[in-house]
A and B are shown apart, each in its own frame.
Chain A
Amino acid sequence: MAEILLTFFIAITAAVPLGWWLARTLMNAPMPGESVFAAIETPLYRALGIDPARGMNWRGYARAFVLSNLVLAVTVFLLLMTQGWLPLNPDGVGGMSWDLALHTMVSFLTNTNQQHYSGQAQLSYLSQLAGIVTLQVVTPMMGLALAAAVLRALVGGRNAAQASEGEPRDVGNYYVDVIRLTLRAFLPVALALSLALSWQGVPSTFEGVAKATPVDASAGMSEQLIPVGPVAPMVAVKQLGTNGGGWYGPNSSFPLENPTPLSNLLQSVALVVFPMAVVLMIGPLTGRRRFAAMVFASMLTMSLALAGFALWAEQAPNAAAVGLAANGAHLEGTEVRLGTGLSALWSTLTTQSSNGAVNAMHDSLNPLAGLVPLVGMLINAVWGGIGCGLVNFIVYVWLAVFLSGLMIGRTPELFGRKLEVREIRLLSLLVILQPLLLLGLGAITLATPTIAGTSNPGFHAVSQVFYEYTSAYANNGSGFEGLGDATLWWNLSCVLALLAGRYACLLIPLAIAASLAGKRVAPVTSASLNVEGPVFAATLLAVIVLLTLLCFLPVLALGPIAEQLALGTTGATP
């Protein structure tokens, strides 16, 4: 319990100033270091050929987002295919196959970082830096820019005061938002974290692999290769940017990626600090401070509930070890320096925040502890990915407003703007998309054992397959890693889930918000629905829980719940 309190205390304490900083950045307001930042940014705007003072309507904003993504998509795909012939490749890594390169590129472009390859063996230093780190820095800021555009539209756009009804609204300038967020907020924090991690023991060098001669020759290992590299800067951005894709295959369970309890604390805080700050940014950015407080309190409630449950479920000893060791902690897949508490907490924070980094192997978690990450990813708005989490949460807010409207017999409205047929139609598309993809792809895979690649038998195999698609659609990236997923089927089917989980989930809400923005604002009366109080928050949480259960309870019952019940018969319950 103490580890939960310490982590949340530090994360929230850091998120408060960071949220203010993000809001100032997005409002183009003067801030400390203004002249330095401006001196860097002005030539960049000139190179792009844009006028930073000119806003975009939502279509312009969406076009800029899609086009900038396409350019990076093509570049990184080609880089991964040809890395074998390019420089910065001291260990002689070859090019990737087309389907693996496609999956890897899409996975990082969508801020997911699902990995069907093993980092240190299949990527050159150039790919890790110019390909992976580039996307790990800019894609979370692109997501945040989209969230800022949605928020601006929710309150009528930046030109709300001058524009007449039905007129296009100014939702911001995409390139200005992304460039300012990256330079003023993300990179400075990442640099500080990178240096702190180097201090704790995360490698930070351009030398190739180190060769060691182990001490005890009789143990049969004559040489141990120690992979190093520019690891620390990448680990910093993978934690801060809700990315999750690590340098080493076992991610932050690997001692060189997460050497000490202190490095683990810093990385755990980094999992959630930006998503938390994004919520705290709503207040200054939109002037709706009480709405921001409602969102933060709702997310914090879900977050603490999941964290408490995860810690409780992972306390149970490993059922497989009964009679083979003293009754003690469940350490299969867990590191001694971290222990079960820090691993259980991390497993839920990384899936609450759409990060996907791991510090223990989720495949080996106790079944109910493995259920917690799944639930976090299905909701995908506990904190959620940077920007995307807030956008997902606003979708739940619209749904709750709609249902509340039905219950009290009034036209549903948010901030005085009515949700009508067009908006509801787009919303239902989003609601259907998730179960359609997860259950549809999962059913096809499970019905075809030759392509499933599951490594564990029984109910756990269902969990493995479902986890992979859930993680892809949630743009999370963690996995039940025993799964043999480096295949054509897994690569291509995950690409589908990844793309839908990113672009549909960001662009449809932007279209809804923009459609609302141009509407006439109804005056607030005593009969209006109050979306800023505890009653609405409770309704909203109920909507989130019920919607998730309605769609996914059957598959959860077939996976982790059945697995736990089956173990129960052998006498190992928490």
Chain B
Amino acid sequence: MNTHAVLDTRGGGLRAALVFGALSIALAGLAYPVGATLLGGWLFPQQARGSLIEREGRVLGSALLAQPFADARYFVPRPSAAGYNPTTAAGSNLAVSNPALHERMRVDSAAAAAREGVPATRLPADLVSASGSGLDPHITPAAARLQAPRVARARGWTEDQVLALVQAHTEPPMLGFYGGARVNVLRLNLALDAR
């Protein structure tokens, strides 16, 4: 048999392309994501809705998103290039060589140093660096410990009481080396209020 005759040189034609497009949308664009979403929501209902933290029927926030804290009785999250607004989330996108980055860090550094009553060179880097998302819910354990004396004073607690709570909320890197040690600011602040 001549192989030339049986090979398709037209590539199935227009009908195949049209039906393929429709089937792609139906299977890959609708059936897969709808199925996966419903299954994920059914298996993990809490996570599926955004890991919301609710108290007495009111949503206070998401355990995975930073929110602003100003009162001296609370731990303060990292600076946000997005004003802690998840709908406009963004990093600063400032290059290391950009004078605007140095200037912004100078302002953040001065404010943090004054707030905590320490020299700027003692501030952990995360307190003067904006995160990639603008909504980083975590600070480093060093940044939490640095804020503990101020929080203790404002609440009339001993420093050790606050530090113990920080310790209890510190998550180590996965397997001891993968990722960063971290403290979730919103959860820590809610734990403070719960005492």
Contacts and interface: CB of A to CB of B under 8 A. Distances in A.
Contacts of B6: 54-55
A14 B186 CA distance: 37
Given A44-B23, A261-B178, A331-B129, A219 B87 contact: no
A226 B85 CA distance: 8
Interface in B111-132: 120-132
A239 B151 CA distance: 41
A325 interface: yes
Interface residues of A, number: 144
Given A198-B44, A212-B62, A253-B132, A225 B4 contact: no
A336 B126 contact: yes
Contacts of A460: 95, 97-98
Given A198-B41, A214-B68, A457-B98, A168 B4 contact: yes
Nearest to A57: B7
B133 A250 contact: yes
A49 B30 contact: no
B195 interface: no
Residue of B15, B98, B109, B129 most packed against chain A (CB within 10 A): B129
Contacts of A480: 93, 95
Given A233-B32, A324-B106, A60 B9 contact: yes
A223 B23 CA distance: 42
A330 B124 CA distance: 11
A346 B182 CA distance: 20
A159 B88 CA distance: 56
Given A255-B133, A361-B93, A216 B8 contact: no
Residue of A49, A203, A206, A329 most packed against chain B (CB within 10 A): A203
Contacts of A2: 177-178
Interface residues of B, number: 112
B132 to A, nearest CB: 3
Given A215-B193, A319-B97, A567-B96, A255 B68 contact: no
Contact of A75 (B25, B62, B102): B25
Interface string A540-574: 00000000000000000000000100110000100
Contacts of A326: 121-125
Nearest to B69: A216
Contacts of A265: 174, 178
Given A48-B20, A324-B105, A339 B34 contact: no
B36 A233 contact: yes
A256 B93 contact: no
Interface in B77-106: 78, 83-99, 101-102, 105-106
Nearest to B183: A336
Given A134-B24, A213-B59, A326-B124, A67 B11 contact: yes
A563 B21 CA distance: 46
B33 A61 contact: no
A265 B67 CA distance: 26
Interface in A284-336: 317-321, 323-326, 328-336
Given A130-B30, A256-B64, A233 B121 contact: no
Q: Which 9 A-B residue pairings sit nearest by Cβ, starting from the closest?
A: A64-B11, A261-B179, A253-B132, A134-B29, A482-B93, A198-B40, A204-B40, A63-B11, A137-B28
